[in-house]
Amino acid sequence: MSGKEIHFVTGCAGFIGSNLTDRLLSAGYKVIGYDNFSTGKEKFLENALKSQNFSLIRGDLLDFDFLKKSLKGGTVWHFAANADVRFGLQKPRIDLEQNTIATSNVLEAARINGVHTFCFSSTGSIYGEAKITPTPEEHPFPIQTSLYGASKLACEGLIEAYCEGFNMRGIIFRFVSILGERYAHGHVFDFVRQLKKDAKTLKVLGDGNQKKSYLYIQDCINACFKALEKTKNKIEIYNLGADEYVSVKDSISYICARLGVEPALEFSGGNKGWIGDNPFIFLETAKIKSLGWKAGLSIKEAVEKTVDYLLKNIWILGD
Amino acid sequence: MSGKEIHFVTGCAGFIGSNLTDRLLSAGYKVIGYDNFSTGKEKFLENALKSQNFSLIRGDLLDFDFLKKSLKGGTVWHFAANADVRFGLQKPRIDLEQNTIATSNVLEAARINGVHTFCFSSTGSIYGEAKITPTPEEHPFPIQTSLYGASKLACEGLIEAYCEGFNMRGIIFRFVSILGERYAHGHVFDFVRQLKKDAKTLKVLGDGNQKKSYLYIQDCINACFKALEKTKNKIEIYNLGADEYVSVKDSISYICARLGVEPALEFSGGNKGWIGDNPFIFLETAKIKSLGWKAGLSIKEAVEKTVDYLLKNIWILGD
């Protein structure tokens, strides 16, 4: 990939958005990043801000008039989101506002500004408790189990209808949990933070047998680039994940070995970490692999890289 | 069904909502109806307003504080919607606001007020251009082709996540187009209105070969009542439609015969009536039939009943 086309990245200061921004800049693109810094971090843009090809816009996606004036480019990467699946029930509006309504705003601004390609970070949570694993993109019509998954489902539908009606190209990625540099929430984060405070005990949501797939951030972005290059149809949906899964207990063993600790494990119990948690997430990735992509790191390597990153960037753990 | 439980009906002055309201009152329930009369009609509530068991609240679903204060009952029938699939692209916000955000408001008000059962009018349009016909509820994950379908998909996801998280029972109906008394928009309406003005020519969207299934309103409500009575699971989704489909040309022939006219047909051309129109809608209804329901009227009889209704209630055609 090369050239000077403008790419507009929402959530450019987030975990995935900032890595994407750096990679787009490395590939020679101009990038306009848009972020409200509600969870995004200035530090993640240190590299990008050194580039003449990058401009940063501080704005909220719910401020439609400002967004409409700000959005430019041929390709939009809409990667801003409320990305925490766990807290939907405590704040039942947050996923609707930050995900569904925000996405509607980005689509409408993209349409008005003549964007030709709309890339979107969806989620494997959209399959709910999948009946088929590894779960293919054409899994039977799923039942949503979380407001987060429901909001991403709503976003996907909006993108598809916009592409159908306004002749944009839509590329939707259903991610598993992503790991690696700038990872700033999720189970590895929680466990490392706990163990840095007290290496003797580790509290674990559920029974530790939840099985999930993960993907290393640079592998994730390689897949996004491959899909951008190869997608011919008006709409394509790609699962992104590793060819394997691990249990929470497996992941704990990788983390503890890397940290050199042997805590006692305290399980909250039950087969789910929280209401709406899916005890088995493992996606079929034949479709993205058919484009010539494959993951470079195993889940174990990705967990280890994440632990190393957190230890080198201890500020991220907060308090 | 009998008893004095309160049923809360949104869109109580609409085509389906007002028929439902009358039937609930006949069954002995107390009904609170909520409508903003944006498309609902006072006349449709003439019967209901005679009942001591009915109370009408004029309100907008987007006025959450008022809705929250107004909503009461054990069962909510959320049947208010922007129900016109055709105009989403001209007004890209209308389906998001009137359907998705409105449904989120009704769910939140229902949760706060301790509702146990949430019934919802979804649509066969949610299957997009279905790959399987007759289309089963568990059709592979569909691609949305209209903002209307996308908004109903979003509503379904919200309802499922609420039921999972807050232990409500959710009953989702995916309707084909409904016909019968108080029918006030759709192809039979358009054709009768055209032919009352000029019986010599009839303008038809598409090539007339679009194939669709329909259902008579009283059969539809019988199915809703059956599902309410028999649904045991936290979430059930039921397709509702006839065991047959007809082409637009078939339907024109029934309408013209009933009116005693023989117009020349002018087709706009193409296999779709509009962008996002699905040229073949026919739903698998084995699931609702397994509860002991079946349709009483054929599509031809339903079309004829609709024509008769429109001729007796010519005010509905407007201008």
- pLDDT above 60 (res A266): yes
- pLDDT above 60 (res B199): yes
Rounded to whole angstroms, the Cα distance separating A136 from A126 reads 12
Contacts with B146 from chain A: Cβ below 8 Å: 161, 164-165
Higher pLDDT, A269 or A221: A221
Distances (CA, A) of A149 to A95, A174, B121: 9, 11, 21
Tell me the count of A-B CB pairs closer than 8 A: 127
How far B202 CA sits from the closest chain A CA (Å)?
27
Q: What is the DSSP string of chain B?
A: --S--EEEEETTTSHHHHHHHHHHHHTT-EEEEEE--SS--GGGGTTGGG-TTEEEEE--TT-HHHHHHH--SSEEEE------STTTTTSTTHHIIIIIIHHHHHHHHHHHTT--EEEEEEEGGGGSS-SSSSBPTT-B-PPP-SHHHHHHHHHHHHHHHHHHHH--EEEEEEE-EEESTT--SSHHHHHHHHHHH-TTEEEESTTS--EE-EEEHHHHHHHHHHHHHH--SSEEEEEE--S--EEHHHHHHHHHHHHT--PEEEE--SS-SSTT--SEE-B--HHHHTTT---SS-HHHHHHHHHHHHHHTGGGG--
The pLDDT score that the predictor gives to residue A3 is 57
Residue of A149, A158, A160 with shortest CB distance to B161: A149
The pLDDT score that the predictor gives to residue B237 is 98
The pLDDT score that the predictor gives to residue B86 is 76
B139 touches chain A (CB under 8 A): yes
Contacts with B108 from chain A: Cβ below 8 Å: 92-93
φ and ψ at residue B161, rounded to 5 degrees: -65, -40
- pLDDT above 90 (res B158): yes
8 Å CB contact of A161 and B154: no
pLDDT, tens digit, for every residue of A69-121? 999 999 999 999 998 777 778 889 999 999 999 999 999 999 999 999 999 99
A289 touches chain B (CB under 8 A): no
Rounded to whole angstroms, the Cα distance separating B71 from B33 reads 9
Residue of B100, B139, B146 with shortest CB distance to A141: B139
Architecture in CATH of B180-212+244-281+296-317:
Alpha-Beta Complex (3.90)
CATH number of A6-178+214-240: 3.40.50.720
8 Å CB contact of A147 and B161: yes
How far B169 CA sits from the closest chain A CA (Å)?
13
Neighbour-count burial of B5, counting CB atoms closer than 10 A to its CB (0-12 exposed, 13-18 middle, 19+ buried): middle
B88 touches chain A (CB under 8 A): yes
φ and ψ at residue B42, rounded to 5 degrees: -50, -40
pLDDT, tens digit, for every residue of B12-65? 999 999 999 999 999 999 999 999 999 999 999 999 999 999 999 999 999 999
Q: Which amino acid is at A165?
A: G
The pLDDT score that the predictor gives to residue A274 is 80
Nearest CA in chain B to A235: B143
- Going by C-alpha positions, the residue among A94, A237, A239 that lies closest to residue B144 is A237
Residue of A88, A108, A153 with shortest CB distance to B153: A153
8 Å CB contact of B146 and A139: no
- pLDDT above 80 (res A229): yes
Q: What is the mean pLDDT of chain A?
A: 95
The pLDDT score that the predictor gives to residue A1 is 47
Residue of B104, B144, B162 with shortest CB distance to A157: B144
Nearest CA in chain A to B150: A157
The pLDDT score that the predictor gives to residue B1 is 47
pLDDT, tens digit, for every residue of B200-214? 999 999 999 999 999
Between B86-95, B116-125, B239-248, B280-289, the lowest mean confidence (pLDDT) is in B86-95
Place of tokens 């500020």: A315
pLDDT exceeding 90 applies to what percent of chain A? Answer: 91
φ and ψ at residue B257, rounded to 5 degrees: -60, -45
Q: Kindly give the pairing relationship between strand B54-58 and strand B75-78.
A: unpaired
Q: Choose from B89, B98, B138, B158 for mutation: most chain A CBs within 10 A.
A: B158
Q: Choose from B104, B137, B166 for mutation: most chain A CBs within 10 A.
A: B104
The pLDDT score that the predictor gives to residue B88 is 73
Nearest CA in chain B to A274: B165
Q: What is the mean pLDDT of chain B?
A: 95
Map out the domains of chain B as residue ranges.
Answer: 6-178+215-240, 180-212+244-281+296-317
Mean pLDDT on B256-271? 94
The pLDDT score that the predictor gives to residue A84 is 77
Q: Are B182 and A162 in contact (CB under 8 A)?
A: no
pLDDT exceeding 70 applies to what percent of chain B? Answer: 99
**Domain B6-178+215-240 part of CATH 3.40.50.720:** yes
pLDDT, tens digit, for every residue of B104-136? 999 999 999 999 999 999 999 999 999 999 999
pLDDT, tens digit, for every residue of A126-175? 999 999 999 999 999 999 999 999 999 999 999 999 999 999 999 999 99
The pLDDT score that the predictor gives to residue B3 is 57
Rounded to whole angstroms, the Cα distance separating A103 from A79 reads 10
- Going by C-alpha positions, the residue among B15, B47, B54, B49 that lies closest to residue B32 is B54
φ and ψ at residue A244, rounded to 5 degrees: -150, 170
Nearest CA in chain A to B130: A141
Residue of B96, B128, B160 with shortest CB distance to A144: B160
The pLDDT score that the predictor gives to residue B147 is 95
A181-213+244-281+288-317 CATH pick, 3.30.390.30, 3.90.1150.10, 3.40.228.10, 3.90.25.10: 3.90.25.10
Neighbour-count burial of B286, counting CB atoms closer than 10 A to its CB (0-12 exposed, 13-18 middle, 19+ buried): exposed
Nearest CA in chain A to B127: A141
Q: Choose from A122, A138, A144, A239 for mutation: most chain B CBs within 10 A.
A: A144
Contacts with A160 from chain B: Cβ below 8 Å: 128, 143-145, 150
Contacts with A143 from chain B: Cβ below 8 Å: 160, 235, 237
ipTM of predicted complex: 0.95
8 Å CB contact of B141 and A142: yes
The pLDDT score that the predictor gives to residue A319 is 64
